[in-house]
Amino acid sequence: AQSVTQPDIHITVSEGASLELRCNYSYGATPYLFWYVQSPGQGLQLLLKYFSGDTLVQGIKGFEAEFKRSQSSFNLRKPSVHWSDAAEYFCAVGYTNAGKSTFGDGTTLTVKP
């Protein structure tokens, strides 16, 4: 069965600092990989996705993620964090279909002024 691990429950960074959120997955085939962001009381917004091709994918809001097959990882990065990036971030793995995914438990990002 597929699984997704987000090792960091909570991360705090200073505004303007760089950010990396970790995601590891366990899956038997080449997965579809996603990062979502959820603000308090809101739904999920897709930041970026990887299906195939270039392993470095660009998303919205200045985020990028790199798929590393050898490490079964899909870490999310941003060079300079803004206060509005404070939210919860979810990594997800799908097989054939973006709608049916396995989600990690999320990483809560706090941004210090």
Partner 1 sequence: NAGVMQNPRHLVRRRGQEARLRCSPMKGHSHVYWYRQLPEEGLKFMVYLQKENIIDESGMPKERFSAEFPKEGPSILRIQQVVRGDSAAYFCASSPPTGEAAFFGQGTRLTVV
Q: Which is nearer to partner 1, 15 or 75 (CB)?
A: 75
Q: In the complex, what is the shortest distance from the CB of residue 103 to partner 1, in angstroms, rounded to a whole number?
A: 4
Pick the closest to residue 17 from 65, 66, 85 (CA basis).
85
Between CA 47 and CA 90 the distance in angstroms is 10
Residues in Cβ contact with 81 at an 8 Å cutoff, skipping those fewer than 6 apart: 13, 14, 15, 16, 17, 18, 19, 109, 111
> Considering only residues 45, 58, 71, 80, which one is a binding residue for partner 1 as defined by CB under 8 A?
45
- Closest CB 25 distance from partner 1, rounded Å: 13
Least distance CB 110 / partner 1 (angstroms)? 15
Please give the residue ranges that form the binding site for partner 1 (CB under 8 A). 4, 36, 41-46, 49, 51, 90, 92, 96-106
